[in-house]
Amino acid sequence: MQKAANFFRETQQELKKVTWPTWNELWQAAAVVIVVTFCASAFIAAVDFCISNFLRMLIS
């Protein structure tokens, strides 16, 4: 039981040392993630479309 209490006490001390992002930094990071995800999905969709059409051309 002492080990568990010690663990939680040390965890709390470490979390006090963390530098948390501001709301502005958080929104900017979220926007970057959304834009990169959208670009990656568009690229994968375009490659999939091209490969599908190429394979349809080969088959027919």
- Residue pair 35/27 in contact (Cβ under 8 Å)? The answer is no
Domain boundaries, the chain: 21-60
Q: What is the pLDDT along the chain (60 residues), one digit of tens a residue?
A: 888 999 999 999 999 999 999 999 999 999 999 999 999 999 999 999 999 999 999 998
- What is the C-alpha to C-alpha distance for residues 23 and 21, in angstroms, rounded to an integer? 7
Threshold 0.85, pTM exceeds: no
- What is the C-alpha to C-alpha distance for residues 21 and 32, in angstroms, rounded to an integer? 15
